[in-house]
Every structure is written in C-alpha cells, then in structure tokens.
Chains A and B, each alone.
Chain A
Amino acid sequence: MLTHSHLRNLTWGFCLLILVSGMIIWGQNAAAETVLVSFTVEPYTLLELPEPSISFSPVPPGSSVEQTIKAIVKANVTWELRISGTQSARASDGSTVGISSRIYAYDFLGAWEQLGSSAQRIYVNQPPTDAEGVTVDIPLRLEADYNDPPGTYQTEIQLTLVPMI
C-alpha cells in the first residue's frame, strides 16, 4: 500500500528523472551543435609543354612533313586549346623574314587549317581533368614553298588555354 511518504518519494524521483533526462537531452543537443563551414574552390588551369624541343624533318619545296607537339592540360573547368602562328620567321643569319611555307594544325573539326594570327580551336569543350591532367597531341604539318630560299627557319606558334564558362 502506498503511503504519502512513498508517493512523495515517487513524485520526487519522477521529477528527478525528468530533470536528468532533460539535462541529458540538452547536453546531447549541445554536443550536436554544428558549425557551417563554407569554402570556395576556384577555377584553375595549367598548361605545360613536356617536350620543349621539336623540329620538322628537312623537306623539299612542294612537299610536306608532319610533326606533333604535346601539351599537358590540367583544369577543373571545361576548357579549350587554341593555336596561332605567323608568316614571319627568323633565318639562319638571325634576320626576320617573311616566309611562304605554311604550317597547318589539325583542328577540332578534323581538318588541316593554316596557322594565322587569329587563334584556331584545336580542342573544344574538353571536360575538367583529374590531378594528373591530360596529355594532348597537336599535329602540325609544314608545307614547304618554292619561294623560300633553302635554309633553316625558326617561326613562332602560340598555344592558348581558354576556360569555358
């Protein structure tokens, strides 16, 4: 039989239980507090020429010869690679001369396009790479012209890595 004393003890015990449970729940909630952490990954690109030395084989006028440049691209955005060139060259004696021989690049449409001052697209809509990057081949073709005197010429080409947005 429950006496008043028992009831009082039970009531106190129940209140204590509620209080302790509440504190535990409160403590758990406090322990589960989260902090929002924000960060920004910036778009980046890297362009590298792994083989800085490349040359065309000697070629007679009227003929063509092909060679391939390699480039390494790393990017976390979609990217394009473009190439441009010039119709002037440095001759063996160091002088700058205009040349008639032409250099072509194999563009993204699968056609040989002559290099000019406006950059042409050789790789388009390329996906982001992993940390190792991708190595791309850039086929080039030299068509030697009869109007160029025999000799060794050095001409300039330019590779441009463009992010897509």
Chain B
Amino acid sequence: MSIARRILYLVALLLFSSRLQAAVMVSPVIIDAYQVERGSAFTVTMMNPKTYPLDVALEWGWFTMSSDGTVLLDEKAAPELDWLYLSNPVCHLEPESTTQIVITVNRADFTAVTPVLYISLQDPQSPVAVRVAVLFALSSEQPTRPVQIEFIESCQTDLRIRVTNPNPCHIYFDGVVELYRSAELIDEISITPKLVLAQSQRDISVPLNPGADQVIVTSDAAAADLMVVLPVEL
C-alpha cells in the first residue's frame, strides 16, 4: 500500500447540520414530595424561547447520589417499574411559547423513588442531542426522625460535615456553621438546603477559616448541634 494511500484522510463531521439553534427551558428541574399516592400529579413546564417550533422527547431514568452530592445517572430506566405515568413521550413546542406536561403517580407501592425525566430536543438532522434532566425525589412516607450530624473534620481549606438521614424518605439538611477563635465568633456560614436521600449519608463541604479553633454546626433538621474543637496548626 502506498504512503499516499496510507495517509488517507478521515474526515469526521460531528455537526454539519444547517438547522437553527436549539434551546429548551425547563421548570421545575427538581421535584420532591412526601406522602405521594396513586393519582398524585406533578407539572413540568417547558419553554421554547426560539422563533421556530421544536419537538422534545421525554424519557425516564433513575438517579442516586454519592456521599459528596454527585448525581449519579442511570440511563436505563426499568420500564416495568411504571410508577410514573406520562401521557405522551413526545411533545411539540410552539415558537416562543410554554407547554406543560403532567406526570401522574401510577402506582404508589414504594417507599422512596428517585426517577429522572430527560427532556431531549429532537432534531434528527443534528448529531448533537441536547437534554435537560428533571430530578424527582418522591416518597409515600414523610420524615419523622431528625438528621444525625456524624462528624465534622477539617480537610485542608474546607470543613467536611457528614450527615446521615435515618428516614425511609429523602430529607433536606440545612443549617449554620459557626467558626470560633479563642471563643470569639469569627465566621458564620449558611448551609443551603442539601438533599439527603433515604437512609443515606451526605458530606457537605464549607470553606474553613484558617484561624478557627472551634466549630459549631446547628440545624433545625438535626437532632442536636455538634461542636468540634479543631486541631490548631503550630
């Protein structure tokens, strides 16, 4: 084989679509509910901000979370677990308009489920698929027990707080971190609500003021405040 033929050019076109820009806005992208039952319904609004119509496909998957809060997506939804009902897997969005879809709880024989609805722009001409994930945290129960703050530890420039949710359903953890130096308050950091899935743990990191020698974490979601004396750097 000649060198000329060896150096054959491979042209890979990722996108050569002549189609217009594609965009979709979705709200809400996080839906959580307690005590859901058969017939409970949730509405998701999709907006097409462009001046031309768009089609979107709706597909189900599952998600879970790692302890650091990373959402782990499972692309393969088990269709037999038809807990949620969606009337149409495809939706047409008129230009510059909003469309609502209703998701209904089909079966409520679960304690806690975390499905994810993928809303994908449909453009058969474009090899790039664009999609937005809508995360659901649904439970037939409601939390009855407080979150446990397991420990607080300093990791270089951050403070790591581990919380455990003993409930069979998800819960939100929020609170305040107070940092002290020589018994004097030097910093106060709010923890925005963090989702902790049913019977799982979550690590929450907040920036650590290097001069702090004591930390107190308070939260209405927790059974008790936790105070920790930090090691002093010599």
Contact = CB atoms under 8 A, between A and B. Distances in A.
Which of A69, A148, A153 has the most chain B CB within a 10 Å cutoff?
A153
Given A52-B20, A157-B14, A150 B29 contact: no
Interface in A109-161: 117-119, 121, 124, 140, 142, 144-145, 148-161
A159 B128 contact: yes
Interface residues of B, number: 45
Given A44-B26, A52-B21, A58-B10, A163 B128 contact: no
B28 interface: yes
B187 to A, nearest CB: 20
A153 B28 contact: no
Contacts, number: 171
Nearest to B18: A53
B121 to A, nearest CB: 8
Contact of A50 (B21, B28, B194): B21
B23 A47 contact: yes
B129 A61 contact: no
Which of B26, B47, B137 has the most chain A CB within a 10 Å cutoff?
B26
Interface stretch (B68-76, B101-109, B226-234): B68-76
A3 B30 CA distance: 80
A43 interface: yes
Interface residues of A, number: 58
B130 A47 contact: yes
A69 B21 CA distance: 13
A48 B49 CA distance: 10
A47 B180 CA distance: 42
Which 4 pairs across A and B sit closest by C-beta, in order of nearness?
Answer: A48-B23, A44-B27, A150-B8, A46-B25
Interface of B: 6-30, 47, 49, 69-71, 73, 75, 118, 126-133, 135, 137, 194-195
12 contacts: A43-B27, A44-B29, A48-B22, A49-B22, A54-B14, A59-B11, A60-B7, A60-B9, A151-B11, A159-B129, A160-B73, A165-B135
